[in-house]
Copies of this chain bind each other. A is one copy, B any other.
Amino acid sequence: MSEAVRTFLRTNQERFLDELITFLQFPSISTDPSRKEDVQLCASWLRDHLQMLGLQNVQLFPTEGHPVVYGEWLEAGAQAPTVLVYGHYDVQPVDPVDLWDSPPFRPTIRDGAIYARGAMDDKGQVWLQLKALEAWLRVEGRLPVNVKVLIEGEEEIGSVHLGDFVKQHRQMLDADVVLISDTAMLGPEKPAVCYGLRGLAYVELHVRGPRRDLHSGSFGGAVDNPANVLSWMIAQLKDRYGRITIPGFYDDVRPLSELEQQALAQVPFDPAAFAHSIGVPMLYGEAGYSPVEWLWTRPTLDVNGLWSGFQGKGAKTIIPAAAGAKISMRLVPDQSPADIAQKTIRYLQYLAPPTVEIDVLDLYGGDPVLVDPESPPIQVALKALETVYQTSAYLIREGGSIPIVSLFQKQLEATPVLMGFALPTENAHSPNEHFHLDNFYRGMETVAVFYELLAATMAQQSTQKHR
């Protein structure tokens, strides 16, 4: 990367931050139907920005849900590799909103970080991608690689319509590499490239008992209580060793290779510090595995929400008519979300006693992902990080899910490169989400370097693929 590109990135930092603040002010919560228009406004604003950057074929593609923003620059030539930059402009809900120190959609700078919903997941990381493109185009008038930019609005709800969109636009989206900044570094000054993601299966369980809430005195003892039943059913989902008891749940879990086990063992991890950072007395997980394995390579089952009966102040003496829970499972290769959801639903139906009725909704799923860590794009990403951060970069897996990544892998035969600049402590999906500005700025430089190194490494590789 030329000194001029670097200088451009450094002298415009203040403007880039102002732009990001504007981006973060859109309350683009994809799961909330009342925010549909805000999501749309955010997409239109983003499209206008891609246009301003000088991308071509800039479009807002409507879907049955929220729109997809697209733009491209394809003048690097047929020899040059093509990179599809993927990100998302939608964000998680913000409740409990009273736990935020500043309002989630009024971005605030504190202690070198920007606080807002979406700061690191994923608007801040989308922005550093766009600014790397801007720097090359403004300073050099060109990019070292062909670039396609795809920014969707439904990542936080499982990319429900993007799958079809990718299948319908396979040619338009064709690429050698999918570059994604939606993951975290291992820690401050510990840059990392992620070669594996967990998948997700998400169900909602409803237990229905009496037609209406009952007086717990007049009826108690003779009527099964949906809240007690729900609790009992949830308790049956794990055994005393922390193993998930859904029949067949572990059938398709691929054992770790020896190489992987060795790589994982090298990852620095301090359980006490980790526990302290999130405020729990101790970590807890499946018997027989290490904390790093718990987080990256083992499937999980978590209740994400629970509700039943009277939740107000004081005491109300009822047998609730119904109870419900949101239950999600993180999956690892080669578990399939549809298969796991089906096994879960079947097991819940088996557990349900004859005293109640249950419904289980399959809310959504995403495939797990695994990339060969030896592949050239991953190696180039490591080098770009080492160039900018001046330290060696780690090869890691990640416990979270980006459901669409495996689709890119399958549909486009592209290699996903997960090069994220967030930190694990930046409160993703929680109150006080934030993103450190030093990584925001170094992230831009890293991406700018990545393009140059990739062009040098992959010209031949690209030719081979299309032969």
Contact = CB atoms under 8 A, between A and B. Distances in A.
Interface of A: 31-33, 92-93, 95-96, 99, 157-158, 184, 198, 200, 202, 204, 209-225, 227-228, 230-232, 234-238, 274, 278-286, 291, 294-295, 298-320, 323, 325-326, 328, 330, 353-357, 363-364, 398-401, 424, 427-432
A240 B79 CA distance: 69
Contacts of A225: 302-303
A427 B304 CA distance: 32
Contact of A312 (B93, B220, B432): B93
Closest 5 CB pairs of A and B: A217-B400, A211-B279, A31-B314, A235-B235, A227-B303
Contacts of A354: 281-282
A199 to B, nearest CB: 10
Nearest to A227: B303
Given A220-B399, A221-B399, A399-B218, A355 B157 contact: no
A303 B230 CA distance: 10
Contacts of A96: 213
Given A223-B280, A228-B237, 7 more contacts: A213-B431, A217-B330, A221-B294, A304-B309, A304-B310, A307-B311, A316-B326
10 contacts: A209-B280, A215-B400, A220-B330, A222-B295, A228-B301, A230-B306, A231-B325, A235-B235, A303-B308, A306-B311
Contacts of A278: 210-212, 214, 219, 223
Contacts of A303: 225, 227-228, 231, 308-309, 320, 323
B230 A232 contact: no
Main secondary structure of the interface of A (DSSP, over half): loop
A232 to B, nearest CB: 4
B320 A304 contact: yes
B33 A313 contact: yes
Nearest to A306: B308
Contact of A357 (B222, B281, B300, B430): B281
Contacts of A317: 200, 202, 304, 328, 401, 429
A210 B302 contact: no
A221 B281 contact: no
B221 A298 contact: yes
Contacts of A399: 217-221
A212 B96 CA distance: 10
Contacts of A230: 231, 306
Residue with the highest number of chain B CB atoms closer than 10 Å, among A204, A280, A318, A325: A280
A125 to B, nearest CB: 15
Contacts of A213: 96, 429-431
Contacts of A302: 216, 220, 225, 227-228, 319
A275 B316 CA distance: 23
Contacts of A219: 278, 295, 399
Contacts of A211: 278-280
Given A212-B430, A223-B278, A230-B231, A305 B310 contact: yes
A32 B298 contact: no
B315 A328 contact: yes
A267 to B, nearest CB: 13
Residue with the highest number of chain B CB atoms closer than 10 Å, among A32, A227, A330: A227
Contacts of A357: 281
A316 B31 contact: yes
A295 B200 contact: no
A427 B320 contact: no
A311 B305 CA distance: 6
Contacts of A209: 280
A320 B280 CA distance: 12
Contact of A318 (B217, B237, B319, B429): B429
Contacts of A227: 234, 302-306, 325
A218 to B, nearest CB: 5
A238 B234 contact: no
Nearest to A431: B212
A183 B308 CA distance: 27
